[in-house]
Amino acid sequence: MLGKKLREVLGSEKVKDSQSWRLSYAYDGTPTGYRGVPDVVVFPETTEDVAKILAFASEEGIPVYPRGAGSGLTGGAAPLEGGIVVSTEKMNSIVEIDEDNLGVLVEPGVVTYDLQVEVEKRGLFYPPDPSSYKYSTIGGNIAENAGGPRCVKYGVTKDYVMQLEVVFADGTVAKVGSKAVKSVAGYNLKDLIVGSEGTLAFITKAYLKLIPKPEAVRTALAVFPKVEQAAQAVADMFKAKVIPTACEFLDKNSIVAVERYAKIGLPTYAEGLLIIEVDGYEAVVDELISRAVEVCKAAGAEEIKTAATKQEREALWMARRAVSPAIVQLKPKKINEDVVVPRSRIPELIKNVYRIADKYNLMVVNFGHAGDGNIHVNFMYEPHEADRVEQAVREVFELTVALEGSISGEHGIGWMKKEFLPLEVGPALEKMKAVKRALDPKNILNPGKVFDL
Amino acid sequence: MLGKKLREVLGSEKVKDSQSWRLSYAYDGTPTGYRGVPDVVVFPETTEDVAKILAFASEEGIPVYPRGAGSGLTGGAAPLEGGIVVSTEKMNSIVEIDEDNLGVLVEPGVVTYDLQVEVEKRGLFYPPDPSSYKYSTIGGNIAENAGGPRCVKYGVTKDYVMQLEVVFADGTVAKVGSKAVKSVAGYNLKDLIVGSEGTLAFITKAYLKLIPKPEAVRTALAVFPKVEQAAQAVADMFKAKVIPTACEFLDKNSIVAVERYAKIGLPTYAEGLLIIEVDGYEAVVDELISRAVEVCKAAGAEEIKTAATKQEREALWMARRAVSPAIVQLKPKKINEDVVVPRSRIPELIKNVYRIADKYNLMVVNFGHAGDGNIHVNFMYEPHEADRVEQAVREVFELTVALEGSISGEHGIGWMKKEFLPLEVGPALEKMKAVKRALDPKNILNPGKVFDL
């Protein structure tokens, strides 16, 4: 029925509503399984297609669920109420790489890694690097305002989105933002839409900022007996005027898990491990990595390795890359929260996360982007421990807010965290809802995400 | 009457409504004189004061005009419809400099320069540097999303605002954004409010990002026979991986005006002059300025000077700093537009601005932040030429939009440019209005600015 109408609107090849298609597009990257099955999945090829879909859905009051690669971790793509899943898979062109202005125009379905490869061929660089970058799409990255290890130096996805072409809920096509480097003409709807998880507008094109590719990279790995020492090193790094490209942290449980899994010689007595990477001009990277090493020594690091070649660097990064595969061997289930605190509060955060884990008798593993204060808190558990995990997670969020942090640095709210959003945003929540009602009065765009109206 | 009621709300010392106070706060920095006289001027000292004022004004439906230093150039602070001017003069504390997290908490009335001096004492750096920075306030800078020469490398005010405490039109006090480096919890109201020119919320506190102060600076001045050569040099600079701290441009008329005024030996045959500044680590600034010089030579520069000491640098900057005092001697009146285009479109912009000036028989002077593509187009005129200037300005805006640029890079829309906003933002304008109605349903916050409802 809905499929039939949409075939009239779009033509039949772009519309799928068999059981197998519907089930395939019910799932996304969230570890809890699917929530809701779409009535139909559509594959627009142009902005006009998207405008037709939204005008139709708006007219009929049917929920629309935008979907990139479906790799989100908080259920952003889940079709909670059925309706129409709109996949960007067929809108996947890199339209133009503008070398003169350091910009690139892309469709939303372009995979982030594919974009990076193309621009790096030209000596250019698109920094945002969420863990999913080899399969997640630019459209999804923008909708979630994705981060990644390099964001400590280079900023998040938002910082690279200059202009968007979007379709609003009523089918209006508009450009927001500017191809010019600066613009203060009217309200900044662009940065409002970035990170709004597909609830305010559907992104049909993005003009992204590029930067020159850094000339050189150096990497160091430092091991600290005490977690406070690692945190101190992170804070001191910035004081020594080293803004690292990446500054990744592993706690004791991560180190032990990685060592058991990969046997790469990490000292399992250590409470903290940092991987520090710097990049920039050839003339300066050696000095920067020396400064970083000095900072780590002064803070109490006991073992420090540095790497200059790509191969050596890969070896150091193994410690970080092995974390995810290593920890899933610890317990059958995990819940991964990505809280962020001001850098100086990292020791308090970690200590109190351990306290909470002890209180609920749970295993917890902490690692992540220490340079940003963004720590992935992973509770590893057996199915029967789920209730305790839920209580522990709530305490972690309360702790994070008490430390003036944020309950999500990268993964978004989706449906999974919406009950916790008021903890952080307080009275601003009603204003967010007012904005949602203003831009999507019928609540058809990704309903049930971020908050309930 | 209004004064009496507000005295009841705030106490009498914070409320002024004599003729002299009212007239003093009718003016701002726009060159066209005042528009509207407030009924009363109030000087809140706390967030609670502001909340009381807005709750009262909302209840009574009285317009509220937030005001920093009143140095805006598009009439942002003008009390068009009378009502209440709310000055931030008494909310001018630097509350806390957080050296561990590279942040600073300030009240909105802090003068930008005062903040910069304080943080630089600690080896820290707040980059945004609008020309008005010695007297304009952080609150005003945030409301306008102020730029400045250094923004080509460091970004604009928005890029340094991490969290705001604001009062919404109905008196609701809320925090938006986060003290954490990354946050994707809920809608990004923070970046919506930055640059909204006081029309969406009143800023009562700002937590700003700081960076380590660059260790070293180098400056060069290059003179080009042809304007295209200067523009080429700007584009090539980025390709040579030199992101300049500043990349300022003067056109032929600016050069001639400066030389007549300051007699510093500029070659008046030249169509373009660039001042390029680089900063960063000691180990790299000499190499960067050499690369910049090579790029300028290759593009056709005929005279190049470089400077390393502060004194030498000041001498080169004289050419730029003398522009404003020099050009006001050319004609009794000027109108200064700050259009922005993608960098590669600068030659087209300049050529066509000259064509428009010829068409209307007007004198035009172009200078500005070439690294950003942000050119200040100044028509210098006699009072009787005002009608032609108005037509020329409209053509410049149409040209800018045709070149995929923005009608304002730094100065905002205020009341002066609101008739031109639809040229640039098109169908997004209705969505901006919907957001305004959602957050300020009675239209009491700075009504008549940015657009009319």
Q: With helix as H, strand as E and coil as C, how does chain B read?
A: CHHHHHHHHHCHHHEECCHHHHHHCCCCCCCCCCCCCCCEEECCCCHHHHHHHHHHHHHHCCCEEEECCCCCCCCCCCCCCCCEEEECCCCCCEEEEECCCCEEEECCCCEHHHHHHHHHCCCEECCCCCCCCCCCEHHHHHHHCCCCCCHHHHCCHHHHEEEEEEEECCCCEEEEECCCCCCCCCCCHHHHHCCCCCCCEEEEEEEEECEECCCEEEEEEEEECCHHHHHHHHHHHHHCCCCCCEEEEEEHHHHHHHHHHHCCCCCCCCCEEEEEEEEECHHHHHHHHHHHHHHHHHHCCCEEEEECCHHHHHHHHHHHHCHHHHHCCCCCEEEEEEEECCHHHHHHHHHHHHHHHHHCCCEEEEEEEHHHCEEEEEEEECHHHHHHHHHHHHHHHHHHHHCCCECCCCCCCCCCCHHHHHHHHCCHHHHHHHHHHHHCCCCCECCCCCCCC
Q: Which of B24, B26, B7, B23 is nearest to B15 (CA)?
A: B7
Q: What's the length of chain A?
A: 453
State how far the alpha carbon of A155 is from the alpha carbons of A145, A440, B445, in Å: 10, 29, 32
Confidence label for B211 from pLDDT (cuts 50, 70 and 90): very high
Partner-chain contact A238 B102, CB within 8 Å: yes
- Out of B123, B185, B411, closest to residue A424 by CB: B185
- Out of B156, B172, B425, closest to residue A182 by CB: B156
Residue from A156, A160, A184 whose CB has the most chain B CBs within 10 Å, to mutate: A184
- At residue B55, φ and ψ (nearest 5 deg) are -60, -45
Partner-chain contact A435 B192, CB within 8 Å: yes
Strand partners, B66: B86
Judge whether A198 is closer than 8 Å to chain B, CB to CB: no
- Mean pLDDT value across residues B60-78: 96
CA distance A128 to A105: 16
State how far the alpha carbon of A353 is from the alpha carbons of A364, A375, A376, B252, B384, in Å: 8, 11, 11, 64, 72
Chain centroid to CA B226: 29
Q: For residue A283, what pLDDT is reported?
A: 87
CA distance A374 to A405: 9
pLDDT cut 70: percent of chain B above it = 100
Residues of chain A with Cβ-Cβ distance to B434 below 8 Å are 438-439
CA distance B373 to B366: 12
CA distance A214 to B250: 30
- Out of B212, B343, B434, closest to residue A241 by CB: B212
Cβ–Cβ under 8 Å, residues A191 and A205: no
Give the type of residue at B239: K
Place of tokens 């720590």: A375
Whether the per-residue pLDDT at B239 is higher than 80: the answer is yes
Residue B417: closest C-alpha in chain A: A185
In chain B, which among 202-221 make CB contacts under 8 A with chain A? 211-213, 215
Q: What's the length of chain B?
A: 453
Q: Residue A450: left (phi > 0), alpha (psi -120 to 50), or beta?
A: left
Size of interface A-B (CB pairs under 8 A): 286
Cβ–Cβ under 8 Å, residues B104 and B94: yes
Domains and CATH numbers, chain A: 2-87 (3.30.43.10), 94-212 (3.30.465.10), 216-322 (3.30.70.2190), 331-425 (3.30.70.2740)
- Mean pLDDT value across residues B73-96: 97
Q: CA of B277 to nearest chain A CA: how many angstroms apart? A: 17
Residues of chain A with Cβ-Cβ distance to B284 below 8 Å are 280-281, 283-284
Q: For residue A1, what pLDDT is reported?
A: 85
Cβ–Cβ under 8 Å, residues B453 and B433: yes
Count the neighbouring beta carbons within 10 Å of the beta carbon of residue A310.
10
Partner-chain contact A196 B187, CB within 8 Å: yes
Q: Which of A125, A156, A153 is nearest to A143 (CA)?
A: A156
Whether the per-residue pLDDT at B31 is higher than 80: the answer is no
Judge whether A180 is closer than 8 Å to chain B, CB to CB: yes
B144: its two tokens = 């306008």
Of the candidate ranges A245-259, B7-21, B229-243, the one whose mean pLDDT is the lowest: B229-243
> Cβ neighbours of residue A76 under 8 Å, at least 6 residues apart?
A28, A140, A143, A144, A197, A198, A412, A414, A446, A449
In chain B, which among 316-375 make CB contacts under 8 A with chain A? 340-344, 372-374
Cβ–Cβ under 8 Å, residues A266 and A273: yes
Confidence label for B178 from pLDDT (cuts 50, 70 and 90): very high
Judge whether A47 is closer than 8 Å to chain B, CB to CB: no
Partner-chain contact B186 A425, CB within 8 Å: yes
Q: For residue B179, what pLDDT is reported?
A: 97
Strand partners, B216: B280
DSSP state of A177: E
Q: Which of A314, A239, A233, A243 is nearest to A274 (CA)?
A: A233
Residues of chain B with Cβ-Cβ distance to A344 below 8 Å are 98, 100-101
Q: For residue B235, what pLDDT is reported?
A: 86
State how far the alpha carbon of B166 is from the alpha carbons of A195, A401, B29, B418, in Å: 21, 19, 25, 25
Q: For residue B33, what pLDDT is reported?
A: 78
Q: CA of B437 to nearest chain A CA: how many angstroms apart? A: 8
Judge whether A431 is closer than 8 Å to chain B, CB to CB: yes
CA distance B36 to A133: 54
Cβ–Cβ under 8 Å, residues A160 and A128: yes
Partner-chain contact A172 B235, CB within 8 Å: no
Q: CA of A52 to nearest chain B CA: how many angstroms apart? A: 17
Q: How deeply is B336 buried, as exposed, middle or buried, from its count of CB atoms within 10 A (0-12, 13-18, 19+)?
A: middle
- Out of B189, B241, B408, closest to residue A183 by CB: B408
> Which regions of chain A are under pLDDT 70?
none
Dihedral sign (CA B157, B162, B167, B169): positive
Judge whether B424 is closer than 8 Å to chain A, CB to CB: yes
A214-251 CB burial, b ≥16 within 10 A, e <16:
beebbbbbbbbeebbbbbbbbbbbbeebbbbbbbbbbb
> Nearest-5° angle of CA B314, CA B318, CA B323?
150
pLDDT cut 90: percent of chain B above it = 92
What count of Cα atoms within 13 Å lies in the side-chain half-sphere of residue A440?
A: 26
Partner-chain contact A186 B450, CB within 8 Å: yes
State how far the alpha carbon of A78 is from the alpha carbons of A63, A167, A425, B370, in Å: 11, 20, 23, 45
CA distance A112 to B71: 43
Residues of chain B with Cβ-Cβ distance to A215 below 8 Å are 241
B70: its two tokens = 């009143």
Place of tokens 């056709």: B300
DSSP state of A135: T
Q: For residue B447, what pLDDT is reported?
A: 98
Cβ–Cβ under 8 Å, residues A14 and A49: yes
Confidence label for B115 from pLDDT (cuts 50, 70 and 90): very high
Does residue A130 sit in helix, strand or coil? coil
A238: its two tokens = 């910035």
Residue from B163, B181, B344 whose CB has the most chain A CBs within 10 Å, to mutate: B181
Q: What is the DSSP string of A40-77?
A: EEE---SHHHHHHHHHHHHHHT--EEEESSS--SS-TT
Give the type of residue at B431: K
Residue from A73, A144, A151, A187 whose CB has the most chain B CBs within 10 Å, to mutate: A187
Residue B424: closest C-alpha in chain A: A185
In chain A, which among 237-296 make CB contacts under 8 A with chain B? 238-239, 241, 243, 280-281, 283-284, 287-288
- Out of A103, A123, A182, closest to residue B410 by CB: A182
Residue B286: closest C-alpha in chain A: A283
Count the neighbouring beta carbons within 10 Å of the beta carbon of residue B426.
15
Cβ–Cβ under 8 Å, residues A215 and A282: yes
Residue A238: closest C-alpha in chain B: B212
Largest separation between any pair of C-alpha atoms in chain A: 69
CA distance B110 to B405: 32
Chain centroid to CA B281: 28
Cβ–Cβ under 8 Å, residues B28 and B38: no
CA distance B27 to B37: 8
Residue B192: closest C-alpha in chain A: A188
pLDDT in tens, B307-331: 978 899 999 999 998 998 999 899 9
Q: For residue B1, what pLDDT is reported?
A: 85
Residue from A431, A432, A446 whose CB has the most chain B CBs within 10 Å, to mutate: A431
- At residue B128, φ and ψ (nearest 5 deg) are -55, 130
Q: CA of B263 to nearest chain A CA: how many angstroms apart? A: 33
Q: Which of A129, A87, A415, A414 is nearest to A246 (CA)?
A: A129
- Out of A101, A213, A438, closest to residue B437 by CB: A438
CA distance A349 to A339: 9
Q: CA of B52 to nearest chain A CA: how many angstroms apart? A: 17
Q: For residue A311, what pLDDT is reported?
A: 92
Place of tokens 């042809």: B226
CA distance B338 to B358: 20
pLDDT in tens, B375-393: 999 999 999 999 999 999 9
CA distance A142 to A107: 12
DSSP state of A440: -
- Mean pLDDT value across residues B89-102: 96
